[in-house]
Structure 1
Amino acid sequence: MKLVIVSGLSGSGKTIALHTLEDAGYYCVDNLPLALLPAFVDTALLQPLSLDPEQAMAPQERAAIGIDVRGGVSELRHLHQQLARLREGHPELKIQLLFLHAEHKVLLRRFSETRRLHPLGREGLPLDEALLAEAELLAPLREAADLIIDTSRSNIHQLRALLRARLLEQEQRGLSLLLQSFGFKHGAPTDSDFIFDMRCLPNPHWDPRLRPLTGRDAEVAAFLGDLPEVHAMLDQLEQTLLAWLPMFEREQRQFLCVSLGCTGGQHRSVFMVERLAERLRKHYPSLAIRHRELS
């Protein structure tokens, strides 16, 4: 049996996450008061959903609930204790905490576009202050999360695809590993477990023929693939990750994000992610690729 707790900042995509899980067969409840969490687990996951034996439904194998500031700020402080008690009392229950995040300026824009009221706005806080206060209140949940996803540069379809790759495919294949390319000039991704800098490699950007292309194009691949330092970097990245990823698995880590960055996120980091994925996929079949700046 599996329970996914979906939390995160308002406007970061929690509703999309719950809908994606629901489409995959999860029994989903949004904005569940934390005080009802033990009862929800008992009724939805561990016992039939009806007291009448003739009308009883089979217990759900997978469920997801949304918990955030809408359910009460004071209750969030007790989530750690609630989850610890659930894990202790129900060792057969697998619990994962998913936290969705987005940059402050992105959340401001999303709320401005939708003209929705922030949950903390009902207390009279301006939107900017409400977002900052919410981030501070949810910081402990983010620290405890099994999986953090930054949705700042993802649209609805990209977020759904990423959730399917990282949450749903992982159920059958073990450790969910994401290799991500990005550009340092756009900011380093906040959902990374490892960040490696590719800016020491020769830059195809300075070749006018290669500038409009990406690391996925054959011409760029030929340029970078002929460089000894590129192969040396790939060898060392592969050795490092194959040495340390099993250590994380032994600590029961289920999700890991490895990000490779270059200046703009168009050439070197994209090429290196593609080639590194070819080397690692036989060890981690659920490996997923994301090119942040190309999307």
Structure 2
Amino acid sequence: MSAPRPTLVIVSGLSGSGKSVALKTFEDLDYYCVDNLPLELLPSFVASLVREDGLPERMAVGIDVRSRSADLGELAEWRAAAESLGVDARLLFFEAEDHILLRRYADTRRRHPLSRLGLSLPEAIARERQIIAPLRSEADAVIDTSHLNVHQLRRQVITGFALEHSPGLSLLFESFAYKRGVPEEADFVFDARVLPNPHWEPELRPLTGRDQRVRDYLDGQPEVDAYARQVADFLDTWLPRLRNDTRAYVTVAFGCTGGKHRSVYLAERLAAHARAQGWSEVATYHREQD
């Protein structure tokens, strides 16, 4: 059986729809990322990586209306040229309703890329829709971010595209705060509120479970170590049995009071354990922090 081809995700869509957040999310998932790549340079980009150290397993590039010199209607041609170099190219397209885009631009006070043409913001949005229509028609997935916040968008990218399009079973380790509810999509939920809480240590309170000082504190608590080892034993026993299931990914969630210290620590620790056990597609998502 031949090895899967490296993945190249083309991130595109309307300005203000969340492309930058998506590209940063792919970067957090250890994709080799480049933003604002001219469309006609897509094959050259792939070829340059082949010449250097060989293709990374996962890449993501941002291509949109900022690419001034290319005809975006030629996407299929340039995409095919890139795939001929040994990648599996997929297009992820982001969009949002006009009134949402207008509000986001008002909130951030950013300039629209097409404002250089002397267009008003509504005119620029309308013109952009026309220009990038060929990209939307070629998209493998379209995400409407009109009613998504940043955290929801990141999670949808992770579970709806980045992991779901990976070969085999992928794992997402998520942290959350019980006061904001248990994630509905979680397959396994573990309650960390029984463990010592760094919140009550004044010097640790401003930090999170990703900070070394918090990790050192929790590492030094015997009950935390016992808890983590028992959860690891449980996951080592049952996760492999899900490989033959039809699902693409499994979400393992850890909750604590504020979703800041214990749950984050455990999600990161168990994700590292899963990678050490040979799971190749592992991601973390901290609902109250990311």
- After TM superposition, the score normalised by the length of structure 2 is 0.55
Would the aligned equivalents of 1:9 and 1:100 in 2 still touch at CA under 8 Å?
Answer: yes
Q: Which residue of 113, 129, 135 maps to 1:141?
A: 135
Q: CA deviation at 1:58?
A: 5.0
Q: CA deviation at 1:287?
A: 8.4
Q: CA deviation at 1:74?
A: 4.1
Would the aligned equivalents of 1:73 and 1:137 in 2 still touch at CA under 8 Å?
Answer: no
Q: Which residue of 20, 28, 32 maps to 1:23?
A: 28
1:33-59 residue CA offsets vs partner (Å, 9 max, x unmatched):
122211110112x232xxxxxxxx454
**Following the alignment from structure 1 to structure 2, what is the Cα–Cα distance between the partners of residues 9 and 73?**
18
Runs of 4+ in structure 1 deviating by more than 4 angstroms, as ranges, are none
Q: CA deviation at 1:85?
A: 2.5
Describe the shift of the 1:84–1:58 C-alpha distance in structure 2 as closer, same or farther (beyond 3 A): closer
Describe the shift of the 1:93–1:110 C-alpha distance in structure 2 as closer, same or farther (beyond 3 A): same
1:3-14 correspondence to structure 2 within 5 Å: 3-14=8-19
Calculate the aligned-residue CA RMSD, in Å. Answer: 2.3
Describe the shift of the 1:59–1:125 C-alpha distance in structure 2 as closer, same or farther (beyond 3 A): same
**Following the alignment from structure 1 to structure 2, what is the Cα–Cα distance between the partners of residues 174 and 5?**
23
Matched residue count: 173
**Following the alignment from structure 1 to structure 2, what is the Cα–Cα distance between the partners of residues 2 and 146?**
13
Would the aligned equivalents of 2:98 and 2:125 in 1 still touch at CA under 8 Å?
Answer: yes
Would the aligned equivalents of 2:33 and 2:60 in 1 still touch at CA under 8 Å?
Answer: yes
Q: For 1:32, what is the secondary structure of its paired residue?
A: coil
**Structure 1: gaps spanning 5 or more residues:** 49-56, 176-215, 217-280, 289-295
Q: Which residue of 37, 42, 45 maps to 1:37?
A: 42
Q: Which residue of 86, 92, 117 maps to 1:98?
A: 92
**Following the alignment from structure 1 to structure 2, what is the Cα–Cα distance between the partners of residues 145 and 127?**
25
- After TM superposition, the score normalised by the length of structure 1 is 0.55
Describe the shift of the 1:67–1:151 C-alpha distance in structure 2 as closer, same or farther (beyond 3 A): same
Aligned residue identity for 1:81 = E
Aligned residue identity for 1:83 = R
**Following the alignment from structure 1 to structure 2, what is the Cα–Cα distance between the partners of residues 139 and 59?**
30
Match of 1:284 in 2: 247
Aligned residue identity for 1:3 = L
Q: CA deviation at 1:4?
A: 0.5
Q: CA deviation at 1:81?
A: 1.2
Describe the shift of the 1:25–1:137 C-alpha distance in structure 2 as closer, same or farther (beyond 3 A): same
**Following the alignment from structure 2 to structure 1, what is the Cα–Cα distance between the partners of residues 127 and 169?**
36
**Following the alignment from structure 2 to structure 1, what is the Cα–Cα distance between the partners of residues 13 and 114?**
14
Q: CA deviation at 1:127?
A: 0.2
Would the aligned equivalents of 2:46 and 2:55 in 1 still touch at CA under 8 Å?
Answer: no
